[in-house]
Amino acid sequence: MTSNDVKVEGFDNSKLGKVTLTVSYQSKTAQFEIEIIEEEKAENSNFENIACKVEKVKAYYFTDESKKDYTLIDVVLNNIKRNMNNDKLEYYYYLSTNAKEEEISDWIKITEEQGKEDKLQFTIDSRNVKNYDEIASEEVVYLYVKEVAIKGGNQSIEITKAMNLQTDENVEIYVDNAKKEDVQNGNTDKDNNSDNTIMNGKLPHTGKITIVIIVTIILGLGTFFYIRYKNLSKYVK
């Protein structure tokens, strides 16, 4: 039997719905009813009213030059209508000083699972952002988020508008993985670990900045005065 021996009649893929196929082979004929349906397409979520909020910022500095300083920024994006009818939704972020980016290639994948239908929550890690210090030195930094909706063999991509990432939230400072107050003052209060003098509306840098120098000076002065006291004490009765 060859394909030329079989005749199929009644098939029209330009029309949706149920159709009857008539299949003939030699003197035999059979009919089959099939339904032609439109392949479901991937559709993106609604980001029209998206709002960006920075919930927490942690900056980690190290006196050991072999260790890399870094910043963690916890971000929440509200007022989203996520399209949960897709098979899968993937998200990526990008930081820029340009409010009208047109071609973005260095997207960073968001690995946190997103369990809410009206928001996205994730952490920006400065170690993953190229030229982070140059970006952080600017007056305004913008956040872009890309959604890749996947359904069947189809996918659709949507990129959000530029969102201002600046914040007046206090920054939690850690030096050599110890809270700043623990290093400077011997403070063990875990709730008192923020610094409202670092931000000034900008993102914290991850280079060896003033905070490390201040801690070093404080520790150095403490050692200096202790040695001086020990030397003078033998003359004071």
**DSSP 8-state symbol, 116:** -
Average pLDDT over residues 166-186: 74
Q: Higher confidence at residue 38 or residue 97?
A: 97
pLDDT category of residue 236 using cuts at 50, 70 and 90: very low
| 21 sits in which H/E element | strand 17-25
Give yes or no for residue 204 having a pLDDT over 50.
yes
User: For residues 92 and 99, is the Cβ–Cβ distance under 8 A?
Assistant: no
Residue range 213-225: mean pLDDT, rounded: 47
Long-range contacts of 14-18 (CB under 8 A, 24+ apart): none
Global model pTM greater than 0.95: no
Domain extents for the chain?
A: 3-36, 51-208
In the prediction, which pLDDT does 19 show?
76
* pLDDT at residue 26, as a whole number: 74
pLDDT of residue 206: 74
pLDDT confidence tier of residue 2, bands split at 50, 70 and 90: low
**Cβ pair 61, 50 in contact under 8 A:** no
Percent of the chain with pLDDT over 70: 72
